[in-house]
Chain A
Amino acid sequence: MYRLPLGKWVNSGVEWLLNHFGNAFDAFTASVTSVTDSLRSGLGLLPWFVIILIFALLAWRAKGWRLALGTTIGLYIIYNLELWAPFLDTLILVLIASLVSLIIGIPLGILAARGDRFHKILSPGLDFMQTMPSFVYLIPALMFFSLGTVSAVFATVIFSMPPVIRLTDLGIRQVPADLVEVGEAFGSSPSQMLFKIQLPLALPTIMAGINQTMMLSLSMVVISAMIGAQGLGAGVLESIAQMDIGKGFEYGLAVVILAMILDRLSQGVVRNSRATLKKS
């Protein structure tokens, strides 16, 4: 029986890319690495309690004093367990990966909402990105961007972008038809329609997408420790290798705390945006 050489095709495709754009990839890797490095050293300069304070303030603004208190306790536990440096690494990776996902994902979502054809082409792509086991992204990421931060960000972005694209698309499509008609009837240009009517009304849904994208980023950033990403994931990986259950639990707990803080924070923002919209 003839076997489709699918794997071979993918391999040669990646090889071809590397042969033709290898230098570009390297330059890209170098520049992104320098950005993340300077970010990390910048954050590293801040004393730990200042960072906790910043988070507590954000939590207080987003949801109130309970979340602020919980955030402070959680972050102090991380500091106390001497996991502060890997925590910062993971945090920076999550923020960068999320940011890149949003910068690419939101415009894609807007395009998908505006064009039915684009929506139809994009949908299976998104399904593919979400259902393909996340480990598979690690291999090409590694080949293109070598070991380290950039390949981690690359793999994370691919894995975590679909929700924000989908929910931006959905949010804009859900804007009531008569409000879109208002925009049309008063002679709005397409960009006025987008920025004055569609995006503000889609904001709560888009924020929900941002929340999901951040959560997926975090989970992938931990996994990408396998391709040399610094941070809490690396610690988890180490403890697996050493069969050190206690150490693994400590690192795992730090991930859980970070996840909860990021989730509650962004949910609080979602709720606030919904409240501005409803304003009652």
Chain B
Amino acid sequence: MGVKIEVKNLVKIFSSQPQKALHLLSEGLSKDQILEETGLTIGVNNVSFSVNEGEVFVVMGLSGSGKSTILRCLNRLIEPSSGSVIIDGVDITKLKANDLRQVRQKKMAMVFQQFALLPHRTVLQNTVYGLEVHGVSKAEREKKALERLAMVGLEGYEHAYPDELSGGMKQRVGLARALTNDPDILLMDEAFSALDPLIREEMQDELLNLQQKMNKTIVFITHDLNEALKIGDRIAFIRDGSLVQVGTPEEIIRDPADDYVAKFARGVDRSKILTLRDVMKRPHPVVQLRDGPHVALQVMKEHGISSVFVVDRAKHLQGLITADLALEARKGGIASLREVKLIEVPVHQETVLVQDIFTIIAESKTPLAVIDEEQRLIGIIIRGSVLAALADIGGDPKDVSTTIGQVG
């Protein structure tokens, strides 16, 4: 997985004569100081990051934080004041108008917040736009567009006009229009923010589905952390034009770089991002298969519990033994748990989201077993610990990271 987009020291100052402000910026003055000195606003302040091929990279921030400006610097809808944007080894900021048009036609396509469909064109005519300006023949571009429209579930709407469509359908057209170009890179500017919550979720799922098939590099702008966590492989936090933190959703929630990120993290519906791994407890105690019922009873007594998981040497879960079963086995003079018929326990992978098995957790009388890829028992889920983790929503995120930290 190579680097697809590399942004280095990107600066955008909204002025036709940014030199003085650029100079002050390089001398280390703050945004406010520069505003005071020159009257110029710094939209993007020395931002660097890289996006890997096939990655969904989310740029996250409040409105006015400069995230849309950063996106527009990637295809130079907004001209960066300094810094470089390197795509497939080519510095976009140095391209001549003609070469830039080529890059825009072939390499990247954009999806807009307010859909931005051309009202005088039908769905099909909108969808072919990119190929049309590229000079692809009518038959070929329409074939491609129809394919893409089918992909986003809009068969039969080719000849409708945009104002006959609902918001969700409009954005599907926007997506199909972007995909028809077969770009390597999709730039999505708050693409789902204007949609109803339900439609928004549907579109997010759809995007993830499409992404699995197509494996594009996606730069996605949003102000909604839940959305960022759901679709982002990595998330970049922008505040006042500066990059605050880049990390995977896990890293962001566990270890917010500062209060700004933490504030966002607090608002998150945790069940959507916490996996079993995050809420499980260390599988302790467990008993070995070679142990006898005496040991099992002893362990239960020590820990004040009425059942215990049994594992083999490789830590593969064999089942659960209750105090009753152990007593019975002791009466029968059984020496090893191998000879006892253990209770079967359903197992769950560590990567499962808490919200997906929430009802199972809530209804289960025995602890749930969590296994890793090699089927080894790595944790147990107790109702109480799940609720504690979810309840952290209002609390100090530092606490969450420590509770979660203990578990791993």
Contacts and interface: CB of A to CB of B under 8 A. Distances in A.
A278 B119 contact: yes
Interface in B116-173: 116, 118-120, 129-130, 132-134, 161, 163-164
B306 interface: no
Nearest to B131: A186
Contacts of A182: 110, 112, 116, 118, 129
Contact of B116 (A178, A189, A200, A276): A178
Interface residues of A, number: 23
Contact of B120 (A183, A187, A201): A201
Interface string A165-193: 00000000000101101111111110010
B105 interface: yes
B116 A181 contact: yes
A186 B133 contact: yes
B181 interface: yes
Contacts of B119: 201, 277-279
B209 interface: no
A196 interface: yes
Contact of A186 (B100, B104, B114, B163): B104
B101 interface: yes
B163 A280 contact: yes
Contacts of A278: 119, 163
B78 to A, nearest CB: 10
B77 interface: yes
B45 to A, nearest CB: 23
Contacts of A185: 75, 77, 104, 108-110, 187
A187 B105 contact: yes
B120 A277 contact: yes
B102 interface: yes
A187 B104 contact: yes
Given A182-B129, A185-B109, A280 B164 contact: yes
B191 to A, nearest CB: 12
B77 A178 contact: no
Interface in A173-227: 176, 178-179, 181-189, 192, 196-197, 200-201, 203
Nearest to A280: B163
Contacts, number: 72
A186 B129 contact: yes
A186 to B, nearest CB: 4
A196 B132 contact: yes
A279 B100 CA distance: 34
Contacts of A200: 118, 120
A187 B116 contact: no
A187 B187 CA distance: 14
Contacts of B118: 179, 182, 196-197, 200-201
Contacts of B104: 184-187
B376 to A, nearest CB: 49
A248 to B, nearest CB: 47
Nearest to B181: A186
A192 B132 CA distance: 10
Nearest to B125: A196
A199 to B, nearest CB: 10
Contacts of A277: 119-120
B112 A181 contact: yes
A116 to B, nearest CB: 12
Contacts of B112: 178, 181-182
A181 B112 CA distance: 9
Nearest to B187: A185
B133 A187 contact: yes
B134 A187 contact: yes
A181 B77 CA distance: 7
Given A178-B112, A279-B161, A280-B163, A186 B130 contact: yes
Nearest to B76: A184
A25 to B, nearest CB: 42
Contacts of B105: 186-187
24 contacts: A176-B116, A178-B113, A181-B110, A181-B112, A181-B116, A182-B118, A185-B104, A185-B110, A186-B105, A186-B133, A186-B181, A187-B102, A187-B105, A189-B133, A196-B129, A196-B132, A200-B118, A203-B120, A277-B119, A277-B120, A279-B163, A279-B164, A280-B163, A280-B164
Interface of B: 75, 77, 100-105, 108-110, 112-114, 116, 118-120, 129-130, 132-134, 161, 163-164, 181, 187
6 smallest A-B Cβ distances: which pairs?
A187-B104, A187-B105, A185-B110, A178-B116, A187-B101, A279-B161
